[in-house]
Amino acid sequence: MLLSPRILSRLIFIAVTTFSFAAIAIAQPRDHLTDQETDLIRFHQQLDKRIDVFIKAMDRRFAIINGLEQAKTKKLDKEEPDWGDLPKGSRAQLLGDIASILDEAITNIDDVSRRDEKSPLISRALRKLTAATNGYVTQVKSMAAQTKDADELSAIERVLQQAEQIIEVGSQLPPPSTDKKKNKP
């Protein structure tokens, strides 16, 4: 049985469309934050509190990578949304998440500094992020020495590049002020 050219063209269109949507679905990038973590970022409007959320999100991923069972993450504020379930993924995916979270944290700090470069929240947030990042570098470098997986090594390289930027900028900060009144926003 021969198909009419009209039916044949429709079948080809349907096949091409189906395969195109399948390819798009496969190629969509992974979200580096869970939905609950994204809600927490939206909840916290102050830069230093957002950075705390980014740090906890990265800590959660390192806990999974290191095989640590982690109970519920404690809330920073009674009113904030729940942290939800731990993220899932391979080591390479979790390391990629960490690199993307570091990048988003940098972007948040840059955005605030463009709007108000004298905000005391910038240095406070950057100090917190730099301190956490120094610890991450140690962990990631030891992972790099232990893996031969190309995807993991690529993700590790991304984490180290982001960390290098943060540490470089953080090292240029003046010492923190000892005057408690000046530090309060």
What is the C-alpha separation between 74 and 26, in angstroms, rounded? Answer: 34
CB 95 within 8 A of CB 65: yes
Helices assigned H by DSSP within 3-86: 5-27, 35-43, 47-65
pLDDT-derived band of residue 141, with 50, 70 and 90 as boundaries? very high
In the structure encoding, which two tokens stand for residue 4, read together?
């009419």
pLDDT-derived band of residue 167, with 50, 70 and 90 as boundaries? very high
CA distances (Å), origin 124, targets 1, 72, 127, 175: 75, 26, 5, 11
Q: Which residue has the higher pLDDT, 3 or 141?
A: 141
